[in-house]
């Protein structure tokens, strides 16, 4: 399944977006985010999420390129069962650095960051569902191999919403482009090649 299939729905549509071939261009709304309680003591569920519903196990991928300029600008992939159960994985701008960021929310959010090599053409992100496990990877431009970032628990369900997510908690107007979004059969469960 790709962007051209047009079986996509917005949760919290952004004020500006367009689709051009396999590219989705977005400019975010003001102070958008997905977060629940931990550390910051607030709940936000107003980030932008363009998704499709997927049954069973799968692998989803997308390449993200953005104009990261302000604290917490972020874009990537999201899996969502509800407002209280979701995962977002992608690039997030923190302390002047573009980190690979993963937030896993099972009632309350957690947050992990990793520095990765990123090229000028964006970062390719992959999430795979293997039953109750979500596997997060990125494509390392330096050697062309998929690198692991996280294995996370996620409640088992018949279906889940999967797609492209972006937020700008401290501003409006973060510009991001998603290319090559796809959802297909899950990759092998082998973790080490």
In a domain, 190, yes or no: no
Say what the pTM is: 0.95
Four-point Cα dihedral 167, 182, 15, 85, nearest 10: -50
pLDDT (mean) for 6-27: 94
Task: Provide, rounded to the nearest whole percent, the portion of the chain with pLDDT above 90.
Answer: 87
- Position 193 scores a pLDDT of 66
142, with CB counted inside 10 A (0-12, 13-18, 19+), is exposed
- Taking the C-alpha atoms of residue 7 and residue 34, their distance in angstroms, rounded to an integer, is 23
In a domain, 191, yes or no: no
- Position 61 scores a pLDDT of 98
In a domain, 189, yes or no: no
In a domain, 88, yes or no: yes
The tokens for 42 are 């607030």
In a domain, 34, yes or no: yes
In a domain, 192, yes or no: no
pLDDT digits (tens, 9 = 90+) for 46-72: 999 999 999 999 999 999 999 999 999
- Position 118 scores a pLDDT of 73
- Position 40 scores a pLDDT of 80
pLDDT digits (tens, 9 = 90+) for 126-168: 999 999 999 999 999 889 999 999 999 999 999 999 999 999 9
pLDDT digits (tens, 9 = 90+) for 19-50: 999 999 999 999 999 999 988 888 999 999 99
Number of domains in the chain: 1
- Taking the C-alpha atoms of residue 74 and residue 92, their distance in angstroms, rounded to an integer, is 4
The CATH number of the domain where 51 resides is what?
A: 2.60.120.200
In a domain, 15, yes or no: yes
In a domain, 41, yes or no: yes
Contacts (Cβ under 8 Å, ≥6 apart) of 120: none
Maximal C-alpha separation, the chain: 43
Task: Provide the domain limits for residue 172.
Answer: 3-184
pLDDT digits (tens, 9 = 90+) for 98-113: 999 999 999 999 999 9
pLDDT digits (tens, 9 = 90+) for 82-92: 999 999 999 99
């Amino acid at each position: 399944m790709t962007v051209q299939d047009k079986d996509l729905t917005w949760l919290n549509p952004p004020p500006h977006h367009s689709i051009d071939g396999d590219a989705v261009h977005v400019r975010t709304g003001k102070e958008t985010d997905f977060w629940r309680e931990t550390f910051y003591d607030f709940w936000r569920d107003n980030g932008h999420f363009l998704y499709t519903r997927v049954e069973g196990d799968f692998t989803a991928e997308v390449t993200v390129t953005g104009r990261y300029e302000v604290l917490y600008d972020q874009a990537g992939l999201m899996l969502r069962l509800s407002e209280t159960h979701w995962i977002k994985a992608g690039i997030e701008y923190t302390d002047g650095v573009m980190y690979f960021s993963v937030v896993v929310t099972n009632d309350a959010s957690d947050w992990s960051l990793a520095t990765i090599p990123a090229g000028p053409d964006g970062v390719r992100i992959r999430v795979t569902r293997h039953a109750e496990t979500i596997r997060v990877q990125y494509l390392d431009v330096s050697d062309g191999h998929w690198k692991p970032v996280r294995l996370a628990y996620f409640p088992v369900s018949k279906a889940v919403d999967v797609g492209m997510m972006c937020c700008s908690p401290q501003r409006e107007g973060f510009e991001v482009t998603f290319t090559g979004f796809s959802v297909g059969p899950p990759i092998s469960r082998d973790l080490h090649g």
